[in-house]
Amino acid sequence: MERTLTNYIRALRTAGAGVSTTEAIDAVRALELVGYQDRGLLKMSLAAVLAKSQEEEVLHDRLFDLYFSHAETKPPRQTQQQSDNQDDSDSASDGSDSDSEGEESNGQPSNGQKQPGSGQGGGSGQDKSGEAGEDAPLDLLELAQSGDATRMAMAMAQAGARADVDQIRFATQVPYFVRRMLEELGAEKLDKQLMAALDERTAEGTARAEALIEARSTLMRNARAYVEARFEVFGRSASEAFMNEVMMDRSLGALTKSDMERMKPIIAKMAKKLAAKHARRRKVRNRGQLDLRRTLRANAGNDGVPFDVIWKTKRKDKPKIVTVCDVSGSVARYVRFLLLVLYALREKVTDLETFCFSSHLVDVNHDLESLPFDAAMDKILREVGNGSTDYGRAFTDLSRQYDSTIDKRTTVLILGDGRNNNGDPAMGIFQDIAAKAKRVIWLCPEHPASWGSGDSALLQYKPFCSSLTHCSTVADLEHALDDVLLAYG
């Protein structure tokens, strides 16, 4: 019984839910309590025990249906004796009485129903009873012709367990595992029979061959369906996780429209991770310095005797970020991602001002806050994005019009390639901004090799930036923002 559950937990883990051992134990206890009878109840119970966030609950919902729907087609165990005793010359009926022992070891039929793991149990039982004939194969022909879905499912589950189908990771592995399953089922023997039947060159032989071919394709179809179902449970999420990993390191500039949609949950997850990492309280105890006023106040009830001693604390700054983004053609895509992350971090970074520019600087806070993100971005790109890039003008605007937004707590985050169309970089003003702000961090989507080439003024700005980093993938973005938040303890 636990086998089914541990396999399910494994499936959940592959799908990215962090199920700890404690939770696994709880799941077993919950299962003992509610049993397999009421599927809806079981689902909700496992959700309460195993899924610890809304995302995990969605995951559980999906996987549970996949995993246990397959299980439900499984019959009460039925058929240990079939696989054990029946060899190809035997018919199914006379194997039944010789096997009381095996039946008992297979145990509790009432609990055994509806579980896919029972197949595995059967498999191992078979190994033990090796003296009955080494791994006696099924009568595949009889099985395929009988049209008995229950027995077929049983055989598939056993062969699947032996072929380790649960290890499947990618859709491309399906044919391989189907082949392994057929091998485990003993299809080789079927092939030999087929060859023999064909060699007979009689009408009877041909008829037998046709039946065998038919049986073989039935088996193949069933094996394929089984492997595909297992892939849904164990493989899909694993390969998705792999794809996401790949995405993290893809250049943002090279992403297609469909990639963008895929990126959104990744970014949301990353923002959550960042927020959690920096969620530590920003209070640092200044040990040794007594806060006399608060100590007296707290101990007034004790006749002024200082039982409770209160020390002075220092509060660390809350993150305050001013983002200045170049939204001209080449950089626009990166801006979308930076802002997506920043706004996903809204919980953590409450003090966030965003300005975009190509030829002049525009305050885009209102758009970003009032419109859905994609609509806001489209509007910004439409309204701000079509001018020739002028970094000098942007910094001048920033320091003239929005002077008050920058103080010594502020991190100025600049995203741009520094390509200034040979205009005036306004170095003096940039220097002033840098002096006033806590830090200036410049993220450049271009590869370092091309910094300063052509009309890029990047290297002129570089000495005044606290850091200038190459930023072209989501992983880069994560590092950069981690760095920004780190400065605020």
Partner 1 sequence: MTHTGLEFAGFESADTVSARLASVGYISTASISTAVYLAHHLRKPILIEGPAGVGKTDLARSLSQSMEFPLLRMQCYEGLDESKALYEWKYGKQLLYTQILKEKIHHLIGDADGLDESFKKLAGFQDLFFSREFLEPRPLLKAMEQAGGSVLLIDEIDKSDEEFEALLLEVLSDYQVTVPEIGTIEAIVPPLVILTSNNTRELGDALKRRCLHLHIDFPNADLEARIVRSRVPDISERLLAQLVAFIQLVRDENIRKLPSISETIDWAKTLLLLHADSLDPVMVRNTLNVILKRQTDIAEVNSQVDQLVRKVLSEQAEPA
Quick one: which of 230, 220, 235, 226 has its CA closest to 171?
235
Least distance (Å) between residue 287 CB and partner 1: 16
Piece in contact with partner 1 (CB under 8 A), picked from 26-34, 210-218, 232-240, 420-428: 26-34
Cα–Cα distance for residue pair 55/192, rounded to 1 Å: 51
Long-range pairs for 141-149 at CB < 8 Å and ≥24 separation? 141/190, 141/193, 141/211, 141/212, 141/215, 142/91, 142/92, 143/215, 143/219, 144/214, 144/215, 144/216, 144/218, 144/219, 145/211, 145/214, 145/215, 149/73
Least Å from the CB of residue 38 to partner 1: 9
Answer whether 127's CB lies under 8 Å from 175's CB.
no
Residues 363-392 that bind partner 1 (CB under 8 A): 372
Binds partner 1 by CB under 8 A, chosen from 29, 192, 221, 285: 29
Residues within window 31-70 making contact with partner 1, judged by CB under 8 A: 33-34, 40-41, 44-45, 47-49, 51-54, 57
Using the minimum distance from each CB to partner 1, give the nearer residue, 22 or 256: 22
Q: Does 397 bind partner 1 (CB under 8 A)?
A: no
Of 21 and 100, nearer to partner 1 (C-beta) is: 21
User: Is 35 strand, coil or helix?
Assistant: coil
Beta carbons within 10 angstroms of residue 465's beta carbon: 18
Site residue total, partner 1 (CB under 8 A): 34
Residue 291's alpha-carbon distances to 207, 314, 379, in angstroms, are 99, 11, 52
Nearer to partner 1 by C-beta: 91 or 350?
Answer: 350
Tally Cβ neighbours within 10 Å of residue 487.
Answer: 14
Per the rule left: phi > 0, alpha: psi between -120 and 50, beta: everything else, 447 is beta
The residue among 23 and 184 lying less far from partner 1, judged by its C-beta, is: 23
What does the alpha-carbon distance between residue 471 and residue 179 come to, in Å, rounded to a whole number? 45
Which of the ranges 2-10, 154-162, 191-199, 269-277 carries the binding residues for partner 1, by CB under 8 A? 269-277
Binding-residue pattern over the window 73 to 102 for partner 1, x denoting contact by CB under 8 A: ------------------------------
Nearer to partner 1, 1 or 275 (CB): 275
Q: How far is CA 217 from CA 158, 178, 187, 190, 211, in A?
A: 19, 12, 11, 11, 10
Stretch that binds partner 1, among 63-71, 201-209, 275-283, 469-477 (CB under 8 A): 275-283
As measured in angstroms, the least distance from the Cβ of 347 to partner 1 is 8
Q: Vertex 320, ends 316 and 326: CA angle to 5°? A: 150
**In 34-73, which positions are buried (b, 16+ CB within 10 angstroms) versus exposed (e)?**
eebeeeeebbebbeebbbeeeebeebbeebbebbbebbeb
Contact residue for partner 1 among 257, 281, 287, 382 (CB under 8 A): 281
CA within 13 Å, CB half, 327 = 27
CA distance 285 to 319: 19
Residue placing its CB nearer to partner 1 in the complex, 299 or 460 = 299
Gap between the terminal Cα atoms of the chain:
49
Nearest to 421 by CA among 323, 324, 325, 326: 326
CB count in 10 Å sphere of residue 92: 18
Among 100, 104, 147, 305, binds partner 1 (CB under 8 A): 305
Which residues does 480 contact at the CB level (< 8 Å), separation at least 6? Answer: 441, 443, 469, 471
Instruction: Identify the residue among 10, 39, 189, 272 touching partner 1 (CB under 8 A).
Output: 272
Among 14-22, 74-82, 122-130, 406-414, which window interacts with partner 1 (CB under 8 A)?
14-22
Beta strand pairing status for 439-444 and 467-470?
Answer: parallel
- 195 or 296, CB closer to partner 1? 296
Is 287 a binding residue for partner 1 by CB under 8 A? The answer is: no
Mask for 218-257, x = binds partner 1 (CB under 8 A): ----------------------------------------
Which of residues 198, 211, 260, 275 is near partner 1 by CB under 8 A? Answer: 275
CA distance 174 to 166: 11
Q: Which is nearer to partner 1, 57 or 148 (CB)?
A: 57
Please report how close the Cβ of residue 29 comes to partner 1 at its closest, in angstroms. 6
From 168-176, 276-284, 329-337, 426-434, give the range in contact with partner 1 by CB under 8 A. 276-284
User: Which of residues 213 and 275 has its CB atom nearest to partner 1 in the complex?
Assistant: 275
Binding segment for partner 1 (CB under 8 A), chosen from 279-287, 335-343, 398-406, 437-445, is 279-287
Q: Which residue of 170, 176, 242, 307 would you call a contact of partner 1, by CB under 8 A?
A: 307
Residue 302 in the binding site for partner 1 (CB under 8 A)? yes
C-beta separation of 7 from 45 below 8 A: no
Name the residues that contact partner 1, by CB under 8 A: 18, 20, 22-23, 26, 29-30, 33-34, 40-41, 44-45, 47-49, 51-54, 57, 272, 275-276, 279-281, 301-303, 305, 307, 347, 372
